[in-house]
Structure 1
Amino acid sequence: MKEINYKRGQAVDVQEEFGVIEINKDKYIGKKPLVTPMWDSRGVFGGNLVGQSLLVAMKTCDPEFRPHSLHSSFVRAANPDDPITYEVEEISNGNNFCNRSVKALQNGEIVYYANISLTKKNSYKASLAKYEEYNTKFQQRAKERDVEEDIDDDDEEEVEKKPIKPFGFQTPLHNWFKKYDLKDLPVSNIESNMLCYFKFFPDFLQLNKSEYENDIPVAERKFAFLVRWGIDNEQGFHQPLVGVDSQFQYVGLGNISDSLLLNVILRVLRIEDVQLTDYHKTFFGVSLDHVLYIHDDDFDVTKWMGYGFKTIRFAHDRILVEGEIYNDEGVHVATVVQEGLLKFSGKEKGAKL
């Protein structure tokens, strides 16, 4: 029985691990079976299903389209012995948006399905560069015509041509990112069976470092950590990734987006410190659905990304989690909403609500 998926110190070709083979324009199959988080897990890691579905959706669109949202449900546990087959339905094809419905199947049964929307315009840097280029040309034309920058109201033609600067705002990073030097945080020695590596803040790992949370309602407590896909010679950890092109960045983002959330709920409830070994055995938990909004294409999953989250509701053994993912420059590039099924087996009695 295989206890680990990837041997540390060896490069991993993600296009071989998570790539797909086209059967026809509406059907694909994974090159390899997907892996489980741990050797004794009941099914395939959900983040890999998310990532591979995003890849399939991109392959059915023109190359300039990239995902901006995914709404999906985990139907049943996928096994690690057989590759996943994907059936794609083209919902719409527009000039700036297109939509795909993706079904993931094993042995003729649906194990996961996703509705994925893709767009051509999803880069703030590109929009800003376009604005600056147009604005420079506009001002130059104004000078050549001896027109002041503040154009008269009755000059409608020039007003219409003047470009509008891109506008936006975002959820700020957790204050832990300012409290600690991120370079000094240790890389966690948690066994990385999904190619995800983590750095944790002391306030996240230990309850005695965050006693201020006792005065904050559980649904308002915010948490954060750092995560990346693969790692390159940092603090003795080395597992470089090969083949992370523009499409496989999204495969990695899908992987990262589902990498930790349900495993640390006992910490959220202030029942115990974060367990970095055998954390998956402390209670039963599985993902029911997964929503991913991608706000910007400017990210690199092979660099340290910030991940902030909070748990906003628990009822009927179901927990709802909201999370934000930031690129290595602190830009909020993605949002996650996930509902999971949890069975605490009595451990919830120690929760600090």
Structure 2
Amino acid sequence: MTVPLSGQAAVDQLLEVLDLKQLDQDRFQGESPQVGAQRVFGGQVAGQALVAAGRTVDPARSVHSLHGYFVRPGDPTVPIDFTVETIRDGRSFSVRRSTAQQHGRTIFFMSASFQVTEAGLDHHTPAPADVPGPEDTPTMADWLERYPERRSSFNASPQAIDVRYLGTPGWVPPGDRAAASEQRVWMRINGKLPDDPLLHACALTYASDLSLLDSVLSVHGEVWGPGGVIGASLDHALWLHRPFRADEWFLYDCTSPSASGSRGLASGRMFTRDGTHIASAVQEGLLRRVGA
């Protein structure tokens, strides 16, 4: 039986994926992990695009928002070329446009904004109340004990992120998944990251694409795969509100305000264990019935 790469070894591989090769001042190249996937994971190309953008910005300026569009499926067997355009460098903000290409065609593009540290008004809504901690939440291994038929697909990919569902994962078979108004998960990078804030932002960007669209399915009690729907990310936006470490637990509280026209909209808020709101995400995805 194949054993998935996990823990620090998987985190180190993720860091290798995010460590782009710099070709010149504004051109970079990234690789994909060879795990047999048919297309590049959206969170990976978004994280790599942010790495490319961030490397062209003064390190004293931290990313606070990004907006990206997934244009075409990525090919995991060939490198991804990233080109960064400097849109603006002002006194407080820097804006970059990062474009990912393969086979001469754009597969993803992102605008990202960076800001110097400033003081100002400070408030946020509270985290959900009465939520079990990650130690009291089923692990992925617990779920796979219940559904061993899913173990092979899980083992095929490195597990750099520890994901613990408070509800039911979107891949649980039809009939075992009830409708729910939200999808909440505890997450953290499953090892230690360097202290570089850009790397933590890129890791959080990667993680933010993992379970967000599950909340669309949760409203209907639907599932991914046979007997349910297939999906793909269309666009993704992320706002980073406060300093954080992606290798410490955060709660990802996701809901879906709307779904129509084979598209579903999902929004998520991320909170540290002490209830600090560190980030917000919004994503629209394509959702189609299997066989449609």
TM-score where L is the length of structure 2: 0.82
Contact 1:203–1:209 (CA under 8 A) maintained in structure 2: yes
The equivalent residue for 2:206 is: 255
- 34 and 241 in structure 1: CA distance in 2 versus 1, 3 angstrom threshold: farther
Q: 1:283 aligns with which of 221, 229, 235?
A: 229
Aligned-partner residue type, residue 8 of structure 1: S
Contact 2:215–2:266 (CA under 8 A) maintained in structure 1: no
Q: 1:292 aligns with which of 238, 250, 269?
A: 238
Q: Bigger shift: 306-315 or 191-200? A: 191-200
Contact 2:182–2:218 (CA under 8 A) maintained in structure 1: no
* Separation in structure 1 between the aligned mates of residue 284 and residue 167 of structure 2, nearest angstrom: 26
* Separation in structure 2 between the aligned mates of residue 336 and residue 24 of structure 1, nearest angstrom: 31
SS at match of 2:77: coil
SS at match of 2:213: helix
- 171 and 17 in structure 1: CA distance in 2 versus 1, 3 angstrom threshold: same
Bigger-Rg structure (1/2): 1
* Separation in structure 2 between the aligned mates of residue 295 and residue 10 of structure 1, nearest angstrom: 27
The equivalent residue for 2:262 is: 317
The equivalent residue for 1:7 is: 5
The equivalent residue for 2:277 is: 332
Contact 2:234–2:286 (CA under 8 A) maintained in structure 1: yes
* Separation in structure 2 between the aligned mates of residue 336 and residue 228 of structure 1, nearest angstrom: 16
- 195 and 9 in structure 1: CA distance in 2 versus 1, 3 angstrom threshold: closer
* Separation in structure 1 between the aligned mates of residue 102 and residue 81 of structure 2, nearest angstrom: 6
Aligned-partner residue type, residue 17 of structure 1: V
The equivalent residue for 1:143 is: none
- 197 and 96 in structure 1: CA distance in 2 versus 1, 3 angstrom threshold: same
Gapped regions of structure 1 (runs ≥ 5): 128-165, 214-220, 231-239, 273-278, 348-353
Q: Please state how far the C-alpha of 1:280 moved relative to its aligned partner.
A: 4.7
Q: 2:126 aligns with which of 169, 172, 185?
A: 172
The equivalent residue for 1:108 is: 104
Gapped regions of structure 2 (runs ≥ 5): 145-153
The equivalent residue for 2:139 is: 187
The equivalent residue for 2:63 is: 67
Q: Please state how far the C-alpha of 1:263 moved relative to its aligned partner.
A: 4.0
Contact 2:182–2:215 (CA under 8 A) maintained in structure 1: no
Higher helix share: 1
Contact 1:283–1:343 (CA under 8 A) maintained in structure 2: yes
* Separation in structure 1 between the aligned mates of residue 244 and residue 185 of structure 2, nearest angstrom: 17
Q: Please state how far the C-alpha of 1:228 moved relative to its aligned partner.
A: 1.1
Contact 1:170–1:332 (CA under 8 A) maintained in structure 2: yes
- 108 and 227 in structure 1: CA distance in 2 versus 1, 3 angstrom threshold: same
Q: Please state how far the C-alpha of 1:202 moved relative to its aligned partner.
A: 5.0
* Separation in structure 2 between the aligned mates of residue 9 and residue 249 of structure 1, nearest angstrom: 17
Query: Could you report, residue by residue, the CA deviation over 1:100-144 in whole angstroms, capped at 9, with x for unpaired residues?
Result: 01100112110000011111126xxxx4xxxxxxxxxxxxxxxxx
Number of aligned residue pairs: 272
After TM superposition, the structure 1 = structure 2 runs for residues 41-52 of structure 1, keeping only pairs within 5 Å, are: 41-52=37-48
Q: Please state how far the C-alpha of 1:193 moved relative to its aligned partner.
A: 3.6
Contact 1:299–1:328 (CA under 8 A) maintained in structure 2: no
TM-score where L is the length of structure 1: 0.69
Higher strand share: 2
Q: Percent identity?
A: 28
